[in-house]
């Protein structure tokens, strides 16, 4: 199972060009959804306006080389290692989901556009990526969610904002089930899970406008802007950090942080 390309001889014998067309359509859905999200929420416009405003409030001059260095460090630290999460478990779940999804998507594209290859590395990466996404996603869903851990809501409570994580985990889970039953020659279950796998992809990529999918593109930009603002002294209009003695007792150290 793990070394077999499930797209090469899928249970419904859909030709490779049709699956390739479907993948391209999902990319179009993603780009279109992100653009519509930017137009509706005006995130990019806000970033540019805020950057212009902070430039006027800057107290330090930051050279181009320093800016490049800040961007590279932010991508390598904040983005690549999910450094924004202080809690170890929250950070692990996010990293598993992020890198698992990237591996899953890249391996999918390679296998779909190169079904004739006999290499086993990409099928292995596809299955491993899906498993990583499931582990990180389910760990987050049942344990790490803010409204469950901090607010006491049931893990079964679903709101529209959960569309992204549920469709992401659902796609990986259904992909694994489809691959398993297809390798076991269980045609009925393989067909069922293949169709559900296709539907889950449509929901995932077709629902970009309504889900938190687009946030993946905004968060690196926000992190970069934050560090640039710290470097030039504008600090996003926040006061300078104070180095004062602890005069007010234990404060928030009375309880462990819940990482939300």
For residues 176 and 170, give the distance between their C-alpha atoms in angstroms, rounded to a whole number.
10
For residue 253, pLDDT beyond 70: no
Number of H helices, E strands in the chain: 9, 0
Tell me the residue ranges of DSSP E strands in 107-217.
Answer: none
pTM of the model: 0.79
DSSP 2-32: TTS-TTTT-TT---HHHHHHHHHHHHHHHHH
pLDDT in tens, 204-249: 999 888 877 777 777 777 788 888 787 777 776 666 666 555 555 5
% of the chain surpassing 90 pLDDT: 33
Q: Is 76 left (phi over 0), alpha (psi -120 to 50) or beta?
A: alpha
CB 150 within 8 A of CB 258: yes
Angle between helices 43-57 and 16-41 (to 10 degrees): 50
Domain ranges of the chain: 16-52+60-236
pLDDT in tens, 123-169: 999 999 999 999 999 988 887 776 565 566 676 777 777 888 899 99
41-55, 172-186, 190-204: the lowest-pLDDT one: 41-55
For residues 28 and 20, give the distance between their C-alpha atoms in angstroms, rounded to a whole number.
13
CA angle 134/91/249 to nearest 5° reads 140
- 120: tokens are 């086993």
pLDDT at residue 260, as a whole number:
46
For residues 236 and 146, give the distance between their C-alpha atoms in angstroms, rounded to a whole number.
26
CA angle 158/255/144 to nearest 5° reads 25
Quick one: three-class SS letters along 44-95? HHHHHHHHHHHHHHCCCCCCHHHHHHHHHHHHHHHHCCCCCCCCHHHHHHHH
pLDDT at residue 114, as a whole number:
86
């Amino acid at each position: 199972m793990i070394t077999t390309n499930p797209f090469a001889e899928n249970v419904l014998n859909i030709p490779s060009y049709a699956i390739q067309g479907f993948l391209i359509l999902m990319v179009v859905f993603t780009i279109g959804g992100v653009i519509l999200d930017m137009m509706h929420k005006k995130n990019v416009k806000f970033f540019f306006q805020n950057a212009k405003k902070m430039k006027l409030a800057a107290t330090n001059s930051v050279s181009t080389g320093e800016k490049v260095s800040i961007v590279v460090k932010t991508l390598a630290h904040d983005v690549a290692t999910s450094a924004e999460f202080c809690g170890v478990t929250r950070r692990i779940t996010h990293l598993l989901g992020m890198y698992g999804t990237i591996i899953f998507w890249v391996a999918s594209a390679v296998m779909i556009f190169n079904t004739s290859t006999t290499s086993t590395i990409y099928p292995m990466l596809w299955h491993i990526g899906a498993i990583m996404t499931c582990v990180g996603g389910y760990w987050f869903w049942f344990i790490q969610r803010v409204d469950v851990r901090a607010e006491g809501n049931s893990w079964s409570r679903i709101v529209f904002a959960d569309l992204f994580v549920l469709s992401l985990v659902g796609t990986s889970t259904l992909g694994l089930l489809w691959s398993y039953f297809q390798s076991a020659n269980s045609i009925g279950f393989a067909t069922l899970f293949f169709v559900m796998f296709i539907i889950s992809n449509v929901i995932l990529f077709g629902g970009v406008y309504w889900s938190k999918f687009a946030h993946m593109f905004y968060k690196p930009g926000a992190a970069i802007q934050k560090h640039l603002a710290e470097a030039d002294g504008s600090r996003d209009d926040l006061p300078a950090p104070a180095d004062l003695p602890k005069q007010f007792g234990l404060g928030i150290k009375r309880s462990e942080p819940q990482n939300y």
